[in-house]
A and B are shown apart, each in its own frame.
Chain A
Amino acid sequence: MKIAVTVNGERYERDVEPRTLLAYFLREDLGLTGTHVGCDSSSCGCCVVAMDGDRAVKSCTMFAVQADGHEITTVEGLEQGGKLHPLQQAFWDQHGLQCGYCTPGMLMTSYVLLKHQPAPNEAEIREAIAGNLCRCTGYQNIVKAIQQASTELAAEPAAAAVGS
C-alpha cells in the first residue's frame, strides 16, 4: 500500500506491506535507527515517537499504514541546526542516560508530556514515564533532566517546537 508520511519535517512516499510496524518502517525503510525496539510488545517504551506533535505512541504497536498522512517526530528530529533540544541537553547535563537504549523513548515521551503539561511536578513526570523502562541509569536523573528541560523551555518556549 502506498503511504505518504512526514517524518521530522521531511515527506516520504513509500510502498509498504500493511503488516509493517511503524518502528520497522522508520528503522529499515527510512534508515532512522534512533528509534529503538526493546521488548517489541508495547511494554518498554524504547520505540516511542511523537505523532502529529501531540501524541506519544509506541511505534512497535502501530502499523506504518496508520501513519499515512500524519507527521511523525523521532529522536533524530529533536536537534535543530546542530543544537541539541533542551531535553537532549538536559539528559546530557543531568546524566540522564547510561547505556542509552531507553533514551529515545524517554525523550519522545517527555517531549509530548511537556507539550501537554509545560510545568509538571515530580509525581507527574514519574507517572508520565511509567510506560518507559530504564534498566541501568535509574529514573532519578531522568526525572531531574525532564525538570531541567521544563524550566528551560518555560524561559524559551520557541525551542519546544521542532519538525516542520
Chain B
Amino acid sequence: MFPAPFDYYRAHSVDDAVQALARFGDDARILAGGQSLIPAMRFRLARPSVLVDINAIDELAYVRESDGHLAVGAGTRDFALETAPLIAQRYLLLADTSALVADPVVRQMGTVVGSLCHNDPAGDWPVTALAARAQVSIRTPGGATRTVAIDDFVVDSYTTAVGTGEMAVEVRFPTPGTRTSGSYQKIERKVGDFAAEKLLAGAKPSKDLIRAAMREAEKIADPSPDNRGSVEYKKAMAGVLVGRAIAGALERLGVGGLK
C-alpha cells in the first residue's frame, strides 16, 4: 500500500529542520533513513502530514570519539558505524549490534539515531543504548541543545523524550574502560527479525553468577506469544541470551573457563 499523501521538505541544516518542524506543527515528522518510518507509513500505522528530510544535512553524518564518549550524528547510517575502524577495536557492543540490525542493504540507509527515535521495543539500538548508558542530544525549537540520559529518553514503546518541534541530533556512547565489555545476542528466524540483551557490572564473575543472571532474566522477561514462539520458549531464550551475552563479554576481557 502507498503511504497517505504528505508534504515534503528537504532541510539543509539542523536549524533549518527545527524551524521547519515549528512551521509545520505537530504532525510533521523527521525523515532520516526511513527504514522504519516508511514501512509504518505504508501500513498506515504512521500518517505524518509533512516529512522533514534530513538526509541532505551532511554535517550530521559522523562518528567521533572525544571526551570519554563516541558521538554518532543523526545522519550516520548503520553501515557507516559498522565499518568505522574504531568500533571494531574498542566498542564491541556497538560492533555486535550494528552487524545485526535488519539486513546489510537496510543498514546502508537506516540510521542509529533514527532507530532510537522510532523506539520499537523489538529494535536493536534502544536495547544497546540502554545497556551502554548512552545519552541523546536533542535540539529544541529555541535552538538550544539538551542532553537526555537514555533511561529518560526511552519513555515507552514508540515514545521518546523528543518533544514537539524537537529533533534528536546525536547519540553518545561512553567509551568502555579497560575492564568493561559487552556482547549483543539475538535470536532470529531470518535476518531482519526484531531483537533482546544484557550487560552486568560490579560482581565477581563465576558460573553461578551467570546462572543466577539467566534465572533472573527468565523471571523478569514478560514476552507475548506469537508465531516466533510461546511465552515459555521466549522466557527460556531470554535466559539463554543473557548467559551467552555475559559469557561473551567476559571472554572479551580474557575471563574464560569460569568455575
Interfacial residues, chain A to chain B (CB-CB below 8 A): 1, 17-21, 40-43, 45, 48, 55-58, 61-63, 65-66, 68, 109, 112, 127-132
Contacts and interface: CB of A to CB of B under 8 A. Distances in A.
A63 B38 contact: yes
A61 B35 CA distance: 6
Contact of A18 (B43, B51, B103, B191): B51
| Of listed A1, A43, A57, A66, residue having the most chain B CB within 10 A | A66
Contacts of A58: 105-106, 109
A144 B229 CA distance: 35
Interface size class of B (residues with CB under 8 A): 20 to 34
Contacts of A40: 42
Contacts of A61: 34-35, 38-39, 106, 109
B34 A131 contact: no
Contact of B103 (A55, A57, A65, A130): A130
Contacts of B38: 21, 42, 61-63
Interface stretch (B3-11, B64-72, B143-151): B3-11
Interface string B139-164: 00000000000000000000000000
A90 B105 CA distance: 22
Contacts of A55: 79, 108-109
Contacts of B3: 19
B121 interface: no
Nearest to B107: A131
A145 to B, nearest CB: 18
B136 interface: no
A109 B109 contact: no
B102 interface: yes
Contacts of B42: 40-41
Interface in B102-144: 102-106, 108-109
A62 B35 CA distance: 8
Contacts of A132: 105
B55 interface: yes
A130 B51 contact: no
Closest 7 CB pairs of A and B: A131-B103, A18-B8, A131-B105, A130-B191, A19-B3, A61-B38, A55-B108
B192 A131 contact: yes
